[in-house]
Structures are given as structure tokens and as C-alpha cells.
Structure 1
């Protein structure tokens, strides 16, 4: 389990380390006007190159008494146009505050990671954090002042790929804001049409106007299985087996119930009196275990409220996790562990 760092001196020290890493990689500096839902401001923007559309940029501005600012943007250097903030990863400065999205967390061996509370804002106001976290790929649970807190994990402060991971996260957040804004607009236009007739057709109606079916479960469709360059900095192009494993498990589970899927969850099997939720990982690394647990807990709570049925949670792994991780998974969090192995052209599960 991760622990949130709340000591302000340590937060300041870690933010200085983050700033140093960013300035090392983003060397072209310009004065630009940055826009956000709060207004327009002039900042020094540090870009990763001198020209080119959709270049990566970061700005911090003068220190403010209440927060340490980190604005991540995408824009074109050398032109006189507005730059829009993709995501803010701000940390508390003089007083610890949960209102700021940026979080430093520490794992059980002392490694420090940057995480995010899922606070994003678009046209029409802020989105619910659970809506955002549901759509981010690396969700974890961290302890903050004795309470478990869902967060989006970005990357290790010491990882050589940290800057790349920060901008991958920023791009994901930008896409999520666009998606949620479109869904919110769709909800306003179509809410009046979703009434008893929709229920009769078996369509789900959102429990809250803000949700607008973020966790809409649709008939299962095969997930992408191919090549990804996300980790290309260290490992080159890697083959993603996740989609084919999901497909194999779905075929097996279709004999047990109606299999459903959304953007945020791998598999959910709907039975009459309960729902089985499956999260599949391709390794037993600490990060994958933490991420899988976070996804099951977050999505399980959402789906249980959405469909008003109890949820049973299953973590699907290539092998049993080490005992120090398996004990809390099975004991405290009541997670059932399923293992798989490649067999011929498919996979066996047990």
C-alpha cells in the first residue's frame, strides 16, 4: 500500500527535484499566455523544442504562498497564440491541502511516486474525481491520514522515463476532459429522453446527472491487442498481450453469465444476484498489483451503486503474487486471485 506524503518540507524538496528534471529536458523558454478555466495568465513556458505543433511544455510561474504550481501544456513554440493547460499537478506549499491535485506517495520500500487526485475541470465546471479515475489506466489506493484514497499513479520521481510519463498522463487527461465534456453535453440534450421507455428497453439510466453513464456497460468487445510504444524509452516496442488474455477469459466466462465491458474495466459478468468483476494484469510486479487492486476497488464501488447488485472482485495474474501482497489482497480486501498460463493458441485459467 502507498502512503501519501504530507510533510511540507519533504513536499517542497520533492517538487524542487521535479522542477530540476523538467528544466533539464525542456530547454526552450518563451513568454506565453496560458489559459485555464480560471482565466488567462502570462508565464514562462519551457518547451521541449523550438518549433513544431503540439510540442510538450511546462510552466510554474512565480511561487504562490498556497501552492507549488506545475502546469503541463501542449502548444506550438514561436507563434503568438494561446496555450491551453492540459493538466495541473500542483502541490501544497505552506499548509497541507487536499484541494490540490498533485500528490507525492511512498511505497513500502521507500520509493517515491507522483500521483494525481483526479481533479480535472472542463467547460461547465469540474468533473467528479471518480469519473476521471475510472478512465485513467493506473489507479492505486494510498493511505492519507488513516484513510484509503484512490489516486492515479503517474511515475517514480527517480525513473528516467518520468518526464515522458508526465506528458503521457497530461495527454490522457486532455482526452478525458474532452470525452467527459462531450458526455456532459450529450446528457443535457438527451436526459429528457431517458425515462421509463428506456428502462423497458433494458437501457441503463444514470443515477446522477453528472455521471451520464461514464461506467456504461456495453456488450463485450475485444480489446486492442497489438503493439504499443508507451515504454519505448527503456524497452523499445513491446507486444501487448492484455487484449488477447481478456478475450480468452471472456470466452470462458460466457458460459457463466452475460459478459459486459466498459472503457475502464476488463470484464464484468452479470448474474441475477451479483456481479463478478475481473481485472487482468500481465505481470505480478508491485505496481501492477497496486494498480489492479485500485481498479477493482474503485470500479467495484461504482458498478455496485450503478446496478444495485453486490460485486465480487477477481484479480487475474500470470502467477500468484508474493505472500506479503497476497495476504492483504485475499484477507483485508477480499480479492479472489486467478492465475493464467499460455496453452497452445490460447490461455488456461485456474
Structure 2
């Protein structure tokens, strides 16, 4: 395997009694789009600032392209950062905003014009070079900030909540643009976000953080379908948490207050208390036939599907994604949970 672009080895950081980072270890590959995902206060921004050189870790080691970054100031690191606020210069036009870093490095004028022209084309801003920043939309400003950050050809680009100021539709469009630009430049991207949908949509791999520690590093599909912990299952996407006990008489099963659910894979011993995490779309729903009896209590229309709340026992309500048919409050339904569906955790609430 090729050496990683960035290596974070046992990095820790404290602010007084607060542990911001607790022995974080991860690698980012060359040309990889990597996401740091977690709730506010989990340490993801602190880790990004350590990588950029704005903070020094209390322990551990950071290397970029094999070079130890200890003591290397931010301006000497082949790292650029795109801030959430974009931090564009309102007194400069788009061209000069993008050219700013190149001019500070003393690049030749012909090289500056060639590089800025290339980035204007890449970010679909070719006709905007003479525009002032206050003449641009939010999405256009975001692309100018991205082009400026990429102009000096950094080995690694850090993006701090770059899409947070955009509306939903524009954010989704910009996600595709970010991925396309990252593929074209083959620059390593590390994005910091608390938006689960954003991380799932654009990252090659995701590191989920919680209280200064890593919960899981995996591809988006594995983070969603094979969460390593109950926290990851609940933080990324919607899920049902079902409490119960493992039974092994006549095959592995998970016994809940409303059903005995066969399990295809179960390493837990007989009698172990556990929690089943199952996504709403993995529960099949019908009006008749076999399955768990339930009654629709409420629903939310989501466009491509309807999210139902189905009461299956006095103490149990399941969220179910219905893609076909119309259901109304009070409808009697049947639910089926496949033996391989969901993930069983040796953790109870």
C-alpha cells in the first residue's frame, strides 16, 4: 500500500480539565475526500486546527507526506484552509481574491493568470473574474473561496463547514461540484461537518467523533449499514433502537416486548441484554399477511417516502419507511424484520 498523505498518531489536546482530543489516530490517503463528522464539541475542529498548525497537540505526532509537522508554522505547511465564513476580501475582485495566495508566494504574473484562469473554468466562474464579492450569490462566493484555497496547489485542503451557509438545494448542488473538483485536482480534502447527509454524500471515508474520541472510521455505506457503536447508529441517519434479550433455543433470536426476531448473525450469549438498531427503510410494511401487528399512530410525508410511526406494543413504537401505498392514522398494518436486518449491540439504554 502507498504511504498515507496525512498521518495522525495518538494526538491528544487538553484545555484545562477539558479533553478535546483523546489519542486520535487516523490516516488520510493521497487524493482522498475524508470527513470528520460529529456533534458540536466533539473535537473535530480542534483536530483540524492541529493539522493546520493553529494549535499544537499536547501529545502525539502529525506527519504530512512523511514530514513531521511538529514546530512547522502554518504558513510553511503545504496545507490550506477554507473557512465557513469564506473570509473573502471585499475590496478585491474575484480574480484577485483567487490570485492572493499566489502573489504572496511571489509567483510570476503569467503563472498567476494561467492558474487563476484554470480555476475559474473549473469552478464555473470563467465570466466572473472582474466581479466584486458583493455582486456574487452565496454559492458563487463559496466557489471563489474554494478556488482561492486551491490556487497554491496545497497537498491537503481543510474545509471547515464549507456548505453551512447555503440553502438545502444549493448545498446539494455544491456537494456534486466539490466532489468533481476534488477528483480533477486529486488534492486530499478533509472536511469538518456536523451534517450527516453531507458527509455521506461526499466523503470517501468518514471518521465519526464523540467527546474527543474516534467512534468509527469507515466508508459511508459501512458507517450507515454497519455502525460500530450505538452512538454511530443513532447519530448517522434515522434508526429504531429496540431493547431485548438474546435467546438461543432453536436458533439465535432476539426477544423483544412485541416479537421474537430471528437473527442470522449473533455472537452474544444466551440471556444477554442487547439493543437492535434497525433503519426505518429495512422494515417491510403491508396491510395484510404475516408479521408483527401494529397500528399507524402518525406519519410525516418526505416526498420519496412516508415515515410512519407504528405502535406495535404498549411500550414500543417503530418508525417505518413506506415507499408504496398510502397509509392513514389508525390503519392496521403488518411489519416484517428480516433476520439479517439491522445491527445488534451488546449495549442497552
The TM tier, using the shorter chain, reads under 0.3
Q: Which has the higher helix share?
A: 1
Tell me the TM-score normalised to structure 1 length: 0.24
Q: TM-score with structure 2 length normalisation?
A: 0.24
RCO higher in structure (CA 8 A, sep ≥6): 2
